[in-house]
Amino acid sequence: MSSNTQTWRFLVIDDDAGKQRLLPIANNQRQVVGAAATFVVLGALDGYKEIGRINEAAVKAGYMPEDFVKQFTENSLKLYSGLPADVLKKIVHTDGGLVSMQIMLGAIIDRPSRTVRT
C-alpha cells in the first residue's frame, strides 16, 4: 500500500514442481518455468491496518519524527478504510508493480554484462 507501509510479501519459487504449479495462473508464461527462480509478489488489501505498527517502528529507528506519526497514521487509516475494495486492489497492484520493477532493475544492475532487450 502507499503511505510507505510496504506490506507486500515475497514468495520465491525455485523448484521445478512449484514453477509448474504456478504456470497456469501466470498466463502460461514459459519464463516462469525457465527461470532459475520465480518471484511472486503478494499484496494485502488490508495492509493499511499495519500502518500504526510500521510508523512506530520508523520512529524507534529514527526515520520519522514522533510528532508527525500520530497525525499521519490517523489520516492514512481514515483514507484507506474509506476506500472501496476495487480502489484498494488497484493500489496494491500499483505498489506491487513498482516493487517488482525495482527487483528487476536490481537484477539488471547486478549483471551489467547481460544484454537487456526492451
Q: What's the pLDDT score for residue 107?
A: 76
pLDDT band at 117 (very low <50, low <70, confident <90, very high): low
In this predicted structure, what is the pLDDT of residue 106? 82
Q: What is the pLDDT of residue 105?
A: 86
5 pLDDT band (50/70/90 cuts)?
Answer: confident
| 16 pLDDT more than 70 | yes
Q: What is the dihedral of CA 71, 54, 76, 99, to 10 degrees?
A: 140
Provide, rounded to the nearest whole percent, the portion of the chain with pLDDT above 90. Answer: 64
pLDDT value at residue 34: 93
Q: Which residue has the cell 476506500?
A: 83
Q: What is the mean pLDDT of residues 13-35?
A: 95
Assigned C-alpha cell, 31: 519464463
Asked, for residue 118, whether it belongs to a domain, the answer is: no
HSE of 81 in the Cβ direction (CA atoms, 13 Å)? 9
Whether 64 is covered by a domain: the verdict is yes
Q: Is residue 51 part of a domain?
A: yes
**Domain encompassing residue 30:** 9-110
Can you give the CATH number for the domain in which 57 is found? 3.40.109.10
Number of domains the chain is built from:
1
In a domain, 2, yes or no: no
Question: Is the confidence at residue 104, as pLDDT, over 90?
Answer: no
CB-count exposure of residue 44 (10 Å: 0-12, 13-18, 19+): middle
Instruction: Tell me the residue length of the chain.
Output: 118
- For residue 117, is it within any domain? no
Given this model, what pLDDT does residue 114 score? 57
